[in-house]
Amino acid sequence: MEKVVTEAYLRKAYSGKRVFLTGHTGFKGSWMLQILHWLGANVKGYSLAPEKPNDLYHQVQGDKLCYSSVIADVCDKQKLQTEMARFEPDFVFHLAAQPLVRRGYDMPSYTFMVNAQGTAHVLDAMRCLTAPAVGVMITTDKVYDNPERGIPFAEDDKLGGYDPYSASKASAEIVIDSYRRSFFNPAKYDTHKKSIASARAGNVIGGGDYSDDRIVADIVRAISFGDTVTLRNPASVRPWQHVLEPVVAYLALGAHMAADPVRYSTAYNFGPDPDDMLTVEELTKEFIAHYGQGAYEATPDANAPHEAKLLLLNSEKALNDLGWRSLMDARTAIRWTAEWYADKQTSAYEKCMQQIKAYFS
């Protein structure tokens, strides 16, 4: 299949367009903000403040990349609606979320509020827009009812969620589908002029992630303090992918939706090759080897809350519909990530832009 997800293709779709980006201060949001700015889009960010003073958003001076940056909560329905209506966006990318499994156990009701109700607030705000708009709602690969049989999930597989985070994201998918049927029905596009899709990806790695309970961030923190990183689930298998893979996929989906709002108003998986599997321990070994220092120990915690051990996605729909496929294998993604952190001389923004341009080349 001809590759269509090129810089030129995305630049044509987004240059000069108004993009409303929730979660723009987060790890994935900061990478997406940089790409959109590079493509010539005018981005209005809407997000909570970065959690840490050294977060990627601060490092790349994200405020300078935004048309405007609003520090606010997606749970504040009126504020969100007002800010979106004032901006009149061509595109809405909803990344804002409570994104951590273990935090979901600590704060379950908050996790459901942000991830499910917050998504409803974003879609409600889109209902108030008068001009045509594309909405890409970001969920996760963990939205599926997962018996861990090793069979990659397709978009029409059963939704579910053992832990609060996964269940909250599956709930968000149900919310999205309800709004798509009830208010943004593709069959009535000429009436409402809104195209709504959901994007399912997860377990991203990449430079600038300092979140709690993320394996690469844990390794980097341990190295910086001269500690040994502890692996609580060393045998777990994840569809590891570099952050650029799903971010570019979201942009490709949005571009296709703008060109054909009816056809692409659906759900899409964006995952790596299911045969490209590495355990948490294998990822850790690879990262330490490329970084040049570090040590780990595997100490499984029998009392740790449940987390899926095996999770795979089938992304054939994205290939067939969008011409998108994963360009990096897991080891390449790990090497790019380790090299980003190991480079202490180049600014975070320059490191990100070097990798963005290399990815498209």
Residue 285 lies in a domain: no
Angle between helices 348-360 and 330-342 (to 10 degrees): 150
pLDDT of 235: 87
Beta-bridge partners for 44: 20, 68
pLDDT for residue 83: 98
Looking at residue 149, its pLDDT comes to 85
Spatial distance between the Cα atoms of 36 and 10, rounded to a whole number of angstroms:
9
231 belongs to a structural domain:
no
Q: Residue 239 has what pLDDT?
A: 77
Q: What is the DSSP letter of 51?
A: S
Q: 189-198, 242-251, 298-307, 320-329: lowest mean pLDDT where?
A: 298-307
- What's the residue count for the chain? 361
- Is the predicted pLDDT of residue 2 greater than 50, yes or no? no
Q: pLDDT value at position 312?
A: 87
In a domain, 300, yes or no: no
Residue 182's SS3 state is helix
Evaluate whether residue 166 is within a structural domain: yes
Q: 68 pLDDT exceeds 80? A: yes
pLDDT in tens, 261-291: 999 999 999 999 988 889 999 999 999 999 9
Q: How many domains are contained in the chain?
A: 1
In terms of Cβ atoms closer than 10 Å to its own Cβ (0-12, 13-18, 19+), residue 183 is: middle
Enumerate the H helices of 40-183 as residue ranges.
56-59, 77-87, 101-106, 108-112, 118-127, 164-182
No. of H helices and E strands in the chain? 15, 13
Which pLDDT does position 1 carry in this prediction?
36
58 within a domain of the structure (yes/no):
yes
In terms of residue numbers, what domain contains 136?
Answer: 7-203+242-272+306-329
Which of 159, 148, 144, 285 has the alpha carbon at shortest distance from 202?
A: 144
Residues of the chain with pLDDT > 70, as a percent, come to 97
**H helix intervals, the chain:** 7-14, 27-39, 56-59, 77-87, 101-106, 108-112, 118-127, 164-182, 189-192, 215-224, 244-259, 280-291, 316-322, 330-342, 348-360
Query: Considering the domain boundaries, does residue 277 fall inside one?
Result: no
In a domain, 249, yes or no: yes
The pLDDT confidence band at residue 53, using thresholds 50, 70 and 90, is confident
In this prediction, residue 168 has a pLDDT band, given cuts at 50, 70 and 90, of: very high
* DSSP structure class, residue 130: -
Q: Which CATH number fits the domain that encloses residue 314?
A: 3.40.50.720
Lowest mean pLDDT among 25-29, 278-282, 334-338: 278-282
- Residue 63 within a domain: yes
